[in-house]
Every structure is written in C-alpha cells, then in structure tokens.
A and B are shown apart, each in its own frame.
Chain A
Amino acid sequence: MANTVIEIQNLTKYYGKHRGIEDISFSIEEGEIFGFIGPNGAGKSTTIRLLLSLIFPSSGNARIFGKDCFTQAPEIAMQVGYLPAEVFYYDGMKVVDLLKYAASFYGKDCMPRIKQLAERLELDLSRKIDDLSYGNKKKVGIVQGLAHSPQLIVLDEPTGGLDPLMQQTFFDLLREENERGATVFFSSHILSEVQRLCNRVAILKEGQLIKLQKMSELQAESYKKVRLVTRTPEANGALQAIVQMGAANMAVDENTASFIYKGDLNAMLTVLGGLELQDLTIEEPDLEEIFLHYYR
C-alpha cells in the first residue's frame, strides 16, 4: 500500500469571525496527482497555507510525511516545493541570484537542475527580476519550486500568466516529477486543467469539502456549456427534453437558448439535430457555473 503523504483531519480555520475552512478531512497518497478545486473564496488557499504553516489552524490537525505541519514545518519544507498563485521576489536581484538564494536553504547543489529547468522554460537567468514580465516571474517560481527535487509539489493556481505552450511544458514537467516519484497537490479553479492532469480531486465550496472523487468519475460527469440559435422559435419541446436529460440553468430568449449540460452528449446532439439550427457553440463551463447548479 502506498504511503500517505498528506493527512488532514478536521482542519478548521477562522479569520476572526470569517470562515476560512470548516472541518476538512482527506488524505493524499504517495505518487498521486491530486486536484483541489473550487470557486474563488472556497478555502483552497487557506488549506494550502495551513499545510505550509504560513497560517495556524483554529482546530484540527494536518500531517505531511507523517510529521506535524505546525510543529515540524522546517523538516517538512525540506521535501516540499511550493508555487504560489502570484510570485513576488526581492527587488534588484538577478534571477540566478534569487534562485541561488532559494537553493541555499536546502543545503545541496541545485545549479545543474536550475539550468536544466531554465532551459526547458526558456528563462534567461541573467536578467533582473524587476524587468521580467508576469509570465517570466511565474517561470522563476516554477524553477525555484522544483529545483531541489522535492517529494511533494504544492501548487496554488499555478498556471496564471503562462501561455498555452508554456502551460503544456509546465504540465509535462509536473508529470515527469510525478513519474520520478513526487506527489503533486494541485489547486485550481479551472476544471479543464485539473482534468488534464489529476488522478483524484477534492471539491471545495464555501470552506467545506463537498466531494472527493476519482478523475475518471468526474470525467464521466462531463459538463458542457451550450448556446444555440434556431431559425424558428419553436424549440420549446426539444429544450424540455434536454432539461429532462440533465440540463440546468436553461435561459431562453426568443430564438436563443443557453444551458449547462451534464450527460450523454450524443443523446443531446440527436435532439438538437431535430432543430433548425442557425448557430451552436459547445464549450467548457466555468467551474463557478457548474458549482452554481450542481453543487448547491
């Protein structure tokens, strides 16, 4: 049986009277790529900051590699790479100096790995951090998070600022780290990127864990946002049928209709095929939209 890497028990955090997270429990096994999803403000960052001992819990406990997150944080941090949503570094430093400073905490020579990662991400080590674009700063964050070959990689909405090609490279890197044996804890509010990468997900809403499931199960529940325009306004019958089949948030305005669909795509397309369509778009809904209608 695989070892448990992260173990969270009844973890609760209040900021004064404001809720951060309430009574969250779950665990992550070694070698998993674990997705942590939920809309903004659901408590994803709060959970991650608790795990990293940046904040302290109101109650409950958390362990990483069997060690207590709040009393043994430095020992845990030795094996953890963290990439926050937004990266900030000391002004006036060159990329290479910052990365050397970051590496100096781990007591090993990270320079070969730093060079390797910088090459993969097309990051110029000799530039000043102040002069870097948002995306390039993000790359510095990735390099410093991975340079010491951590056993656990914690990512808090990491893809913002990276262009699609770079996102691909980044995901490849994460998969390679995972194959090497690293466990990945990946928080996001973008369902599709979690779907691409993760084996298992926890879904968070308003500070509570509402679902914990395998990616394969979640994928079976494929959500689509559908918008259609018909030539004739008599689509009501077909739309009723689609609601029966699993559509939500149906909005109809004369010839236009939009809804979120969860279910068999072929069945829906068969019904829509009977309509005189002028336009049809099927796209990924925002996680917010899914939450609004499926996880009340």
Chain B
Amino acid sequence: MNVLLQEIIQYRKGLLAWIIGLSLGALMFMPFLPAFADNVDSMKDFLAGMGQTLTGAIGIDFEVFFGPLGFFNYIYSFILLAAGIQALALGLRIIAKETRFKTADFLLTKPKSRVSIYLQKVFAGIICLIITQVVVGLVCLFSLMAFSSQSFPMQTFLLLVSTLSTMQFFLFTLGILIAALVPKLKQTIGVAIGITLLFYVLYMVANVTEDELYNWFTPFKYFEGNYIIANQSYDTQMLALGLSLTLLFFVVGLVVYRRRDVHSV
C-alpha cells in the first residue's frame, strides 16, 4: 500500500488543480442554461443557418439538443474532453515519471514485485480519477438543479455523468500502456492533449461522414451522450468495445511493465 499512498500524495496538487479547473468549466457554462431554454426558437434558426454538417461535426444532434439535458450534454462533452486529457496524462505520468525523473532505480530495487508496483500505481490513479468524477458529477448535478428551469430525467442524467468514468478509465489505461511501451517519454501533458484531440477530431469526422467505420476508433463514440439521451442507455455494443479495450490496455501494460528493461540514467 505504500506505493499507492505515495502516488496519491505526489499527485494531490495536480488532482486539486484538475478538479477545480473542471468544476469551474462546468459552473461557467451552466448559467447559460436558462437563457438557452428561453430562446429555443431563435437558437434553432441560428443553428439551422450553420448547416447540418457543421452542427453535426461538433456533436449537435437537433432532436437531442433541444430536448431535456440536450444543452447540458453539449457542455458536458467539453468537460469530457478536458477530463480525458487529465486521465490520459495521469496514465502516462504515473508510469513514465520513474524513468523521466530517474527514480526507477530507487523504486524497482525495493522488495516489491513489478506486478505489485504496477497494480498499486494503477489503483492510485483510479482512486484519483474517482475523486475527480464524484466531485465533477456533484458540481454538474447541483448546478443543473440550480440553473435549469426544466425538469430532467435523473436516470439519463446519471448515465450521462457516468460517461466521465468510462471515458477516463479508457484513456487512463491507454496512457499506462503507452508509457509502458515508450519508457523514454519526455512530455506527458502534450502527448495527452494531442491524442485526446485526435480522438475528438475522429469523433467529428465520424459525425460528418456518418461512416460507421470511424465509430470504432474513438472513445467519444464508445460512450456517446447523444445516444444515451435518445435511448436512455449506452450503445451496448460500443460500451462493450470500450470496456474490453480498457481491460486489454491494462493487461498488456502489465505484461510489458513486468519484463521491461530499466536502463541506467
């Protein structure tokens, strides 16, 4: 447990910064909810003027967008994007920092197996992400209750909010796998932003082209809010794909980490 605690202690400032950032992001946009609800007609005209290609690209589905939680989902997709960067960066960092800050010799010559160190690191990351998810989820819930004039279906809301968890765990394990494969990774936040934005671009391309092939390559489709609002459930097939990949990344990461050469500094 000592490695797990140490990891959480080391990440505590970063965690606090991310939670504040994500919560502020949510709080900043929520006050627009009443204004949005009051001006649905003019909004419809405006968006229609933009053309379906553009609105589709940024994830606006007309039928969903003007329903309950539609606008919230739209704001939430940007929180997901930012939280995705956090998770991916954390996954990269928690493994890569031992090489980057040259502490691998210290840690890996201690009487703990690599499997144990890996698991403790992963669980430390998961705990930090769960804290993020709970706080951000609560901030969303309370601000939605405070600002939204419409009532909204709680079950759909909870499903929507839960995409923060599935998305973060997916990107977190992806980060761990990349860091296990590329020990000399110097930049973590830059790589995290790059990869997450790439996934988002793929999501936009998938929306515009409506080519189902693209859906397979972006987690923003695995856990898509528009689908949840329209169907009151996840897209089961996509969810299964996302969760399977998460598990796969975790297992392959472990296998690589266990037998990896740690070179001298």
A→B interface (CB under 8 Å) = 15, 45, 49, 52-56, 73-78, 80, 82, 84-92, 101-102, 104-106, 144
Contact = CB atoms under 8 A, between A and B. Distances in A.
A7 to B, nearest CB: 19
Contacts of A53: 108
A7 B194 CA distance: 48
A45 B109 CA distance: 14
B103 interface: yes
Given A90-B10, A105-B2, A84 B110 contact: no
Contact of B109 (A56, A80, A89, A91): A80
What 7 pairs between A and B have smallest CB-CB spacing? A88-B102, A77-B111, A55-B261, A105-B110, A78-B111, A104-B2, A54-B262
A23 B111 CA distance: 28
Contacts of A84: 105, 264
B101 A90 contact: yes
Q: Which secondary structure characterizes the binding site on chain B? A: loop
Contacts of A55: 261-263
B106 A105 contact: no
A54 B105 contact: yes
B179 to A, nearest CB: 17
A77 B102 contact: no
B9 to A, nearest CB: 9
B108 A54 contact: yes
A52 B110 CA distance: 9
B261 A73 contact: no
B101 A74 contact: no
Contact of A73 (B105, B113, B265): B113
Interface string B78-119: 000000000000000000000001111110111111001000
B83 to A, nearest CB: 25
B105 A88 contact: yes
A222 B103 CA distance: 39
Contact of A102 (B106, B108, B113, B265): B106
A86 B108 CA distance: 15
B113 A74 contact: yes
B112 A105 contact: yes
A89 B103 contact: yes
Contact of A74 (B104, B105, B111, B259): B111
Contacts of A73: 113
Nearest to A85: B264
Which of A53, A85, A88, A89 counts the most B-chain CB atoms under 10 A from its CB?
A88
B104 A102 contact: no
Contacts of B113: 73-74
18 contacts: A15-B261, A45-B264, A52-B108, A53-B108, A54-B108, A55-B263, A74-B112, A76-B111, A77-B109, A77-B110, A82-B105, A86-B102, A88-B103, A88-B105, A90-B103, A105-B2, A105-B111, A105-B112
Contacts of A56: 259, 261
Nearest to A77: B111
A55 B263 CA distance: 7
A74 B109 CA distance: 8
A54 B261 contact: yes
A19 B2 CA distance: 37
A102 B110 contact: yes
B103 A75 contact: no
Nearest to B97: A90
A72 to B, nearest CB: 10
A95 to B, nearest CB: 14
B6 interface: yes
B18 to A, nearest CB: 18
A212 to B, nearest CB: 24
